[in-house]
Amino acid sequence: MQDEHSNNANAAPPPVPPPATPFAAIFDWDGVIVDSSQAHERSWEILAAEEKRTLPPGHFKRGFGRKNEFIIPNILQWADPADTAEIRRLGARKEALYREIVAGSGLEPLPGVRELLAGLRDAKIPCAVGSSSHRENIDLALRLLGLTDFFAGIVTSENVGKGKPDPEVFLKAAASVGCAAGNGVVFEDALAGVEAGLAGGFRVIGVATTNPAADLAAAGATLVVERLTAVTAETVRRLATGSGYGDATGSGGTR
């Protein structure tokens, strides 16, 4: 019978865990993963009718990428900024209306989303969501789209005290997948989101779904694409590591 010490001496050493990925891909949600603008705009219209309030011209574009806690008192001017209970009530009802609309009409990912997420997973680049949307909205969309397994971290409106253009949501999203502040690439369609990503020290890919490419470039986006079909995991790696774009952007990319 072999002694216990001999068995331990001959045992294989425990496997060494792979080093942490030094960067991540962080995605805004609305306008990047899905085009939910019509459902969001319609939910505001229904809420306005329910509350017998008016919507100011241009409110939707001005509020894109912002938290309801900013939109309701500052853009719509439906509540005093100090009346947090009323702001929460209106915001909760608006998001419930949005989910009713989406559950009835369904959602589709924007072109290139599923392929890019699969490529990032194969390249072992962790993905996170950093969105001003509410968590219930994200969870519903993930189920409808079948994308849940692609995201290792999700940070939403409920998890932050400051909305975009403050970088808090992206900093927390990076931390949720074990990456340091600024280590990664943010995907954004809103000007406030581009500003937030840059403020957090990230490279930013502007996706021209909500705003024109020229406006995203003027806001400082590191790279601007018309759609995510122009982006690959190699694009993300080169941007995150500062090794340049090369030919990684494919068609549709501008600098």
> How do residues 102-156 score in pLDDT, each as one tens digit?
889 888 899 999 999 999 999 999 999 999 888 999 999 999 999 999 999 999 9
Domain ends where: 52, 82, 105?
A: 105
Residues 80 and 175 in one domain: no
CA distance 222 to 186: 10
Considering 105, 125, 156, which residue would you say is the last residue of a domain? 105
Q: Are residues 222 and 165 in the same domain?
A: yes
Same domain for 136 and 226, yes or no, is yes
Of 60, 62, 65, 64, nearest in space to 42 by CA:
60
Residue 1 DSSP SS3:
coil
Task: Mark which of 105, 140, 161 sits at the end of a domain.
Answer: 105
User: Which token pair is 37?
Assistant: 């603008």
Do 140 and 223 share a structural domain? yes
pLDDT value for 252: 45
Q: pTM for the full model?
A: 0.79
Looking at residue 115, what is its pLDDT? 98
12 in a structural domain: no
Is 64 among the domain residues?
Answer: yes
- Residues 82 and 135 occupy one common structural domain: no
Same domain, yes or no: 189 and 128 = yes
Q: How many domains does the chain have?
A: 2
Q: What is the CB-side half-sphere exposure of residue 4 using CA atoms within 13 A? A: 0
- Contact call for residues 156 and 136 (beta carbons, < 8 A): no
DSSP-H helix ranges across the chain: 4-10, 37-51, 59-63, 68-70, 84-105, 113-122, 135-145, 168-176, 191-199, 213-218, 233-241
- The verdict on 176 and 201 lying in the same domain is yes
Residue 36: per-residue pLDDT: 85
In a domain, 203, yes or no: yes
* CATH (domain of 247): 3.40.50.1000
Q: Are residues 86 and 114 in the same domain?
A: no
Q: What is the pLDDT of residue 254?
A: 52
Kindly give the parts of the chain with pLDDT less than 70. 1-21, 244-255
Please check whether residues 173 and 246 belong to one and the same domain: yes
- Asked if residue 11 belongs to a domain, the reply is no
Question: Is residue 179 a part of any domain in this protein?
Answer: yes
Residues 99, 84 within the same domain = yes
- 101 and 29, same structural domain? no
Is residue 146 one of the residues assigned to a domain? yes
Domain that holds residue 247: 24-35+109-254
Q: What is the distance between the alpha carbons of residues 237 and 190, in angstroms, rounded to a whole number?
A: 23
Residue 19 placed within a domain: no
Residues 135 and 225 in one domain: yes
